């Protein structure tokens, strides 16, 4: 039995190697590029719960953080998760749920 040409097989593998993900322009493991430790952020929308950034994390109610409250990025974690310090604690939040506060100058 003849084997398929290597060029044809590579082309078919390239098309299936990168599944399309709607609304995603980067790796799902990456945080947005503008997120850096020390930058100010606000929540875009309230998550269903908040996970503390303690060594032994706990789930806390989402109403501990007001949507207008400004927090500070403490650390970037794997899978696009960001540790953010708010007035009532430091929480692990998905980077997609964060935005720059209005009026903050864009750096870099």
Query: Alpha helix locations (H) across the chain?
Result: 6-17
pTM for the full predicted model: 0.68
The SS3 call for residue 23 is coil
In CATH terms, the fold of domain 27-99 is: SH3 type barrels. (2.30.30)
Domain segments of the chain: what residues? 27-99
pLDDT, tens digit, 9 for 90 and up, residues 23-79: 334 444 566 788 899 999 999 999 999 999 999 999 999 999 999 999 999 999 999
The secondary element (H helix, E strand) that includes residue 16 is helix 6-17
């Amino acid at each position: 039995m003849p084997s398929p040409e290597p060029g044809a097989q590579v082309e078919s593998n390239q098309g299936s190697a990168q599944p399309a993900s709607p609304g995603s322009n980067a790796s799902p493991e990456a945080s947005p590029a503008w997120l850096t430790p020390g930058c100010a952020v606000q929540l875009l929308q309230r998550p269903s719960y908040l996970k503390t950034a303690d060594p032994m994390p706990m789930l806390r109610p989402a109403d501990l953080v007001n949507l207008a409250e400004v927090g500070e990025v403490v650390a970037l974690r794997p899978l696009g998760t960001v540790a953010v310090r708010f007035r009532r604690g430091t929480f692990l939040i998905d980077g997609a749920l964060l935005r720059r506060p209005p009026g903050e100058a864009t750096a870099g």
